């Protein structure tokens, strides 16, 4: 056999082996576990077939968690994608002074851990003595219990995640904005194009590959980052009003010790992520501008 055929395979063998061992083998184990009932204490597992999936699909809990997850996605996309996208354009092409200062101030929260950020906002959102409570009291309003009311808890958790990773997304998008040829911007300004038209017809197409990357990490990693503030501040409450797909897997596995349901939820979560990637590949990639 020609060495040009087997040499690449030889070099790829270690990476393929590690990928099978640490990615696909655990996935197969999780799929196998989802057909069993086990509490991690009993030495034997009971095969239950599709009962775990039927119980999850027949109750209202899963649909409530899916709605919560969708709410998280909407808020995270607004806070950590749309706002950094617009602000990066302003900082790259509209602001001419103190750029380094603005970048530094906005990036500092990204250096903190989510645990620290959760503790900080536990004080900020304190309904009795927090800064927001004092500010609302000064204008005659009462601060809600941010982490105990279903209408506010997801927004509060999303704000913590947004504050933490806003600066990183901003710098990534800003790097793409700076790469847009200045000649095009200047030519558009000579034609009396507004900043909005420059952003819409020049900047958006030329920064779309980076924008798609930031959108994906905002959704995929953002839903995983939610795990820390949820575990520290609400434990999914009140009445599972703040739980998302990632945290409910942790709850069923390590709080309720229903590992079969946890595995089934993990499979369903993977299916949701796979659906998102399919939508991204089919719809979003067609609108991405790649140079050359």
Position 43 scores a pLDDT of 84
Position 285 scores a pLDDT of 62
For the chain, what is the largest distance between any 2 Cα atoms, rounded to a whole number of angstroms?
Answer: 82
Give the mean model confidence (pLDDT) for residues 247-252. 91
Domains of the chain by residue range? 50-112+153-287
pTM: 0.87
Taking only the tens place, the pLDDT of each residue in 162-215 is 999 999 999 999 999 988 888 888 888 888 888 888 888 888 888 888 888 899
What is the average pLDDT score of the chain?
A: 87
> How far is the C-alpha of 156 from the C-alpha of 112, rounded, in Å?
18
- Tell me if residue 49 falls in helix, strand or coil: coil
For residue 96, pLDDT over 80 is answered with: no
Tell me which of 32 and 59 has the higher pLDDT.
Answer: 32
**Bond into 238 cis (ω within 30):** yes
Q: Does domain 50-112+153-287 have CATH number 1.10.3720.10?
A: yes
Taking only the tens place, the pLDDT of each residue in 116-155 is 999 999 999 998 888 999 998 988 888 888 898 888 999 9
């Amino acid at each position: 056999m020609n060495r040009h055929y087997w040499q690449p395979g030889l070099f790829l063998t270690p990476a393929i082996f590690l990928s099978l061992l640490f990615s696909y083998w655990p996935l197969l184990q999780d799929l196998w576990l989802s057909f069993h009932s086990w509490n991690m204490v009993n030495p034997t597992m009971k095969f239950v077939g599709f009962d775990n999936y039927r119980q999850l699909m027949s109750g209202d809990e899963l649909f409530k968690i899916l709605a919560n997850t969708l709410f998280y996605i909407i808020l995270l996309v607004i806070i950590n994608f749309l706002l950094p996208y617009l602000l990066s354009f302003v900082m790259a092409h509209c602001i001419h002074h103190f750029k380094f200062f603005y970048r530094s101030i906005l990036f500092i929260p990204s250096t903190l851990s989510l645990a620290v950020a959760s503790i900080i906002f536990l004080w900020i959102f304190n309904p009795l003595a927090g800064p927001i409570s004092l500010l609302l009291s000064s204008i005659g309003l009462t601060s809600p219990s941010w982490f105990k009311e279903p209408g506010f808890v997801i927004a509060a958790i999303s704000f913590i995640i947004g504050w933490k990773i806003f600066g990183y997304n901003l710098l990534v998008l800003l790097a793409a904005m700076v790469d847009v040829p200045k000649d095009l911007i200047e030519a558009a300004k000579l034609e009396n194009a507004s900043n909005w038209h420059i952003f819409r017809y020049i900047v958006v197409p030329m920064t779309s590959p980076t924008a798609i990357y930031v959108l994906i990490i905002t959704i995929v990693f953002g839903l995983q980052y939610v795990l820390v503030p949820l575990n520290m501040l609400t434990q999914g409450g009140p009445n599972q009003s703040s739980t998302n797909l990632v945290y409910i897997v942790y709850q069923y596995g390590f709080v309720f010790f229903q590992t079969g349901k946890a595995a089934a939820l993990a499979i369903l979560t993977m299916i949701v992520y796979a659906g998102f990637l399919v939508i991204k590949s089919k719809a979003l990639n067609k609108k991405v501008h790649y140079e050359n």
